[in-house]
Structure 1
Amino acid sequence: MRDLISAAFQTHPHLPALSLPQGEVSYHALWEAAGQVAKSLQSLPPGPIGILGGREPAMYVGLLAAMLSGRAYVPLNAKFPPSRLAEMLRVAGCAGVLHDPASQPLLESLFAEAQLSLADTRTVSGPSPLGDVTLSVPGADAGLTKSGTENEAFAYILFTSGSTGKPKGIGITPENLQTYLAHATAAYGVAPGDRASQMFELTFDLSVHDLFVTWLGGGCLCVPAGMDMMAPARFILTQRITHWFSVPSTASLLARLRLLRENAFPTLKQSLFCGEALPTALAQQWQAAAPHSQVWNLYGPTEATIAITAHQVGTAGDGEERPVVPIGQPFPGHRTALVVDGKPVAAGEAGELWLSGPQVSPGYLANEEKTREAFVTLSADPDDSRWYRTGDLVRAGEDGTLHYLGRLDSQIQVHGHRVELGEVETALRSAAGGRSVAAIGWPRSGATIEGIVAFAEGSGTPEDAQALLATLQTQLPAYMVPSRIVFVATMPLNSNGKTDRNALALLLP
């Protein structure tokens, strides 16, 4: 990855690499700043580098510096509770954390939560239009060093929601990432002078596409701010965006605001959607608003490196009568299988989608049990390859086009973020003193889930509900905190004696 990135940055030194609310930054300036910071990482013990913050310039400098130093980067979202960040820091084994100087109080809170001493804090960036970058180094810790040695060589490490109540760490190798980038740059590539959106938090794996597909092509990565994040029509126009990537929920909001007018976005050349089901009607609205753009629906779990299947809207296999756009066909060099009870299904039948190929990650960090459950072999595969079980229910059309039908478990997508409802329930059960609880995705808008509503058995006042929500806000990321808690006299059960989530949904307006 270092050689690939180095060649790209040195090819277009004077073109803009970043457009931030603070102004534009050239490839040369960003490269110089990252190189300066990378030098400071050489003396650290083995381990990935945490990148703490949001969308500050220090985040972009830091993740490039980590890659240049041959270390994995681990984005740590400043909006997450310190307890969650501490778990991520320890599981990854971060040898140091890069951050904006303004994040120092949060950094100290994070280290305290992780029971780590602060051995050193210093500014590691030279004079730069991107501002200062601070490096904070934890004190000696045997567990941290062990994890760091095991995880340093990944390209990046991300954490997804886990059903046990703790986030699951996923390490993506340089080979995984290079395989994805080879396809993505050819299929949706950016050219010098193009301008790409960066709508995703750096803790969301789709941000990796934004960063490196843009920079490998010599384009400018445009970072929105403020209200542009929620309703980015003006951002697309003023920034002259040519390459768009977001979750469908963002497009849905624009549609509700009546901003997807015909030819509204004439500069767009490529429009990509991923992270949740893409309604067919919404895709058609976007195509009308961006008539010069190809519109793609991408699919892929974090474990398979960003995306691994795709379908272009308006092409064969579209199935316009279907409510959602197909997830398409696998990328070259990858295979899919639809499986029930360990065996491939007959043609036309639905089954769990399994994935195999060079983008599939090695597994979960420090979690052999979950790795064995999710990364398996398929008895019908003569190559005895390694497969990843997605937990998604899928059916293939006659031409092999894959159609997403839903989840097989309690995992949902909220605005593109993967949420294990079991993790929400674990946190709520603890906060509620062990009483019976449940969480469901609600409200639903077609194929899109807008949020979460939780239920707790027994009596409770509005003040009790607010107290529980306040506790959850200290333990879960904002997108996992329920919008409200409903108290029910008795938790409804289905015929199998399990919580009847459909019955709970009927209690909501």
Structure 2
Amino acid sequence: MKYIGNLHKSIEKHLKNNAFYIDNTFFTYKDFAIRISKIRHTITGTVNNSVKLIGLITNDDIDTYAAIVAFWLEGKAYVPINPDHPIDRNVDILNSLGTSYVFDSSKKTDFPNFILLKPSEPEITAINLKPKKVSDKDLAYILFTSGSTGAPKGVPITYNNLNEFIEGINYDNEFKLNSSDKCLQMFELTFDFSVVSYIFPLLEGACIYTVPRESIKYFYIYKLIKTHNLTVLSLVPSIIHYLRPYFNEIHAPEVRYCSFGGGALYNDIIEDWSKCIPNSKTFNYYGPTENTIYSSYYKLNKNSSLNKTHNGVITIGQPLNNVLYTIVDKSNQEIPIGESGELVLASGQLTPGYWKNEKKNKESFFTKTENGKTIRYYKTGDLCFKDSENNYMYLGRIDFQVKIRGFRIELSEVEFHAKAKCHEKINMVAIDIFNDLGNAELALAIESEAFNTNNIVNHMKAKMPDYMVPAHIKFIKEFPYNNNGKIDRKKLRTYFK
């Protein structure tokens, strides 16, 4: 609890500083502390001590962020629920937790069958930031990601996992914020990169600038950079593809750090982007949600020709100090440097296991005895190789899991819901394709003569978030197959060009 346990001290120390900029309004750390205290008052008066999990509706407002800290100070864990996602999916997630409580700061809630928590009504001016005692093994949050059976899978992260992660990032002092930093928070709170974007600024008394859900994200970020002189940027690679037409107008010498993650980062666009942020240290981060956000990073060179790349994609670098990487074959045996295989990892950041999903746990984790110690590994499903300088190169997914707008998606889940409303047994294959900007988009190939797909699309929209609904649908009379008798997905992509 070294870092999370000290969160309250940073808030108390920086009460006069701005903590958040949300929807054109600044909130000080004192404002933030009062909101936290009011939410704690509600929790202690409503929620039994034995209850550890609380659903959190992810509104873009000060109370939602205050609720995260309030839960932690009370020894609770938050489970983010996006109100724009299908209600059935959200209720299924809440039911799987076995919790009756939901915190929702909005005026009208979609969760009438749960006990609704809001900030205490009486005006509270006394600040209460004293943390309750919690165990390192207690949960800090659970994030639900796309699952192959049509149901999302929960990834619990403990307080110890979170502290190990912060320790790993702080180890070499490459990324060190201060109280005068102005930090971008562009991520939806159901996405694990959001944790990085709020926790490091809060620990140092910096100000966090959020992006409204209904805004055009890339354009709002562009305005924040220009208007408020942001100093710390955490981005997904697709954002700079959208910003590329504005590169000539962006000159941001104030930016000290720029971090990327959530997708392949291409060296050619980085060369141009670096001219927009000439004084910045820039990092390419990699890591699955299961290993608490980031697991490795690569610090980019000012001269892009010196960056380590493979097929134009920048390396994911070397593991954090407390993370162990190994490249293995199908039998989980380590393979030589330079040969490609599955990346597996082990660390104190690693989740204790998927929420109530033993089948998935057996598939994704394994143990090995090395030098007399038993090490628990996670199978990332990512195809990589290690070069002679110990940098890891990312080659793609071993299975059919992709990242769209930074969100990890099981293509089998998309296919599951696409087929659910189709009465005939028709082949449907979900694939990722790339648009003219170089950003990944979902596509659905249907092996059939053309028919009206409104019923299928409406069902997918009711069951999945918008980023999981294919943006392109194409009918193909006969799918291409490879020599092994499997659908040739690589060739299938060419049908969408």
TM-score using structure 2 length: 0.90
Q: Label 1:8 to 1:95 Cα distance change in 2 as closer, same or farther (>3 A).
A: farther
Give the partner amino acid of 2:279: H
Q: 2:131 corresponds to which residue?
A: none
Q: Does 1:238 align with 2:241?
A: no
What CA distance in whole angstroms lies between the structure 1 residues aligned with 2:121 and 2:413?
39
What CA distance in whole angstroms lies between the structure 1 residues aligned with 2:372 and 2:464?
43
Q: Does 1:324 align with 2:301?
A: no
Q: 1:428 corresponds to which residue?
A: 418
Q: Does 1:69 align with 2:44?
A: no
Give the partner amino acid of 1:345: I
Q: 1:6 corresponds to which residue?
A: 8
Conserved 8 A contact 2:43-2:117 = no
* Deviation, structure 1 residue 317: 7.5
* Deviation, structure 1 residue 381: 6.3
What CA distance in whole angstroms lies between the structure 2 residues aligned with 1:234 and 1:459?
46
* Deviation, structure 1 residue 92: 2.5
Give the partner amino acid of 1:411: Q
**1:19-168 correspondence runs (5 A):** 19-42=21-44, 43-45=46-48, 46-104=51-109, 106-108=110-112, 117-118=113-114, 124-127=120-123, 153-168=138-153
Conserved 8 A contact 1:50-1:76 = yes
Conserved 8 A contact 2:381-2:397 = yes
Q: Label 1:318 to 1:22 Cα distance change in 2 as closer, same or farther (>3 A).
A: closer
* Structure 1 residue corresponding to 2:404, chosen from 400, 410, 414: 414
String of CA shifts for 1:385-427, please: whole Å, max 9, x gaps: 1111101011111110111111101001111110110000000
String of CA shifts for 1:266-319, please: whole Å, max 9, x gaps: 110000000001101122222211011000000000000010100000189833
**1:124-273 correspondence runs (5 A):** 124-127=120-123, 153-185=138-170, 186-225=173-212, 227=215, 229-231=217-219, 232-255=221-244, 257=245, 259-261=246-248, 264-273=251-260
Conserved 8 A contact 1:19-1:223 = yes
* Deviation, structure 1 residue 506: 2.3
What CA distance in whole angstroms lies between the structure 2 residues aligned with 1:90 and 1:285?
47
Secondary structure at the residue paired with 1:237? helix
* Deviation, structure 1 residue 90: 1.8
The aligned length equals 475
* Deviation, structure 1 residue 349: 0.9
* Deviation, structure 1 residue 127: 4.2
Q: Label 1:50 to 1:321 Cα distance change in 2 as closer, same or farther (>3 A).
A: closer
Q: 1:294 corresponds to which residue?
A: 281
Conserved 8 A contact 2:309-2:393 = no
What CA distance in whole angstroms lies between the structure 1 residues aligned with 2:420 and 2:141?
32
Structure 1: which 5+ residue stretches go unaligned?
Answer: 109-116, 130-150
* Deviation, structure 1 residue 262: 8.2
What CA distance in whole angstroms lies between the structure 1 residues aligned with 2:332 and 2:101?
43
What CA distance in whole angstroms lies between the structure 2 residues aligned with 1:317 and 1:346?
25
* Deviation, structure 1 residue 431: 1.9
String of CA shifts for 1:155-193, please: whole Å, max 9, x gaps: 011011111111110000001101112233543222011
What CA distance in whole angstroms lies between the structure 2 residues aligned with 1:208 and 1:103?
26
User: Aligned-residue CA RMSD in angstroms?
Assistant: 2.4
Give the partner amino acid of 1:63: I
* Structure 2 residue corresponding to 1:314, chosen from 273, 290, 301: 301
What CA distance in whole angstroms lies between the structure 1 residues aligned with 2:117 and 2:65?
19
TM-score using structure 1 length: 0.88
What CA distance in whole angstroms lies between the structure 2 residues aligned with 1:477 and 1:493?
31
What CA distance in whole angstroms lies between the structure 1 residues aligned with 2:138 and 2:209?
29
Give the partner amino acid of 1:207: S
String of CA shifts for 1:212-268, please: whole Å, max 9, x gaps: 10100110001123545222222112122100001000011111x2x2238711110
Secondary structure at the residue paired with 1:164? coil
What CA distance in whole angstroms lies between the structure 2 residues aligned with 1:210 and 1:262?
25
* Structure 1 residue corresponding to 2:334, chosen from 332, 344, 362: 344
Q: 1:142 corresponds to which residue?
A: none
Give the partner amino acid of 2:328: V
Q: 1:143 corresponds to which residue?
A: none
What CA distance in whole angstroms lies between the structure 2 residues aligned with 1:93 and 1:31?
29
Larger mean Cα displacement after TM superposition, 434-443 or 471-480:
434-443
Secondary structure at the residue paired with 1:207? helix
String of CA shifts for 1:1-54, please: whole Å, max 9, x gaps: 553211111111110111111411111111111122122223424131111133
* Deviation, structure 1 residue 456: 2.2
Q: 2:324 corresponds to which residue?
A: 335
What CA distance in whole angstroms lies between the structure 2 residues aligned with 1:389 and 1:395?
14
Q: Label 1:152 to 1:120 Cα distance change in 2 as closer, same or farther (>3 A).
A: farther
What CA distance in whole angstroms lies between the structure 1 residues aligned with 2:91 and 2:194?
22
Q: Label 1:121 to 1:198 Cα distance change in 2 as closer, same or farther (>3 A).
A: closer
Give the partner amino acid of 2:38: Q
Structure 2: which 5+ residue stretches go unaligned?
Answer: 126-135
* Deviation, structure 1 residue 95: 3.8
Identity %: 28
What CA distance in whole angstroms lies between the structure 1 residues aligned with 2:137 and 2:320?
28
Q: Label 1:382 to 1:327 Cα distance change in 2 as closer, same or farther (>3 A).
A: farther
* Deviation, structure 1 residue 355: 0.8
Q: 2:269 corresponds to which residue?
A: 282
Q: Label 1:38 to 1:50 Cα distance change in 2 as closer, same or farther (>3 A).
A: same
Conserved 8 A contact 2:328-2:335 = yes
Larger mean Cα displacement after TM superposition, 168-177 or 120-129:
120-129
Q: Label 1:349 to 1:59 Cα distance change in 2 as closer, same or farther (>3 A).
A: same
Conserved 8 A contact 2:42-2:119 = no
* Structure 2 residue corresponding to 1:473, chosen from 441, 449, 461: 461
Conserved 8 A contact 1:54-1:201 = no
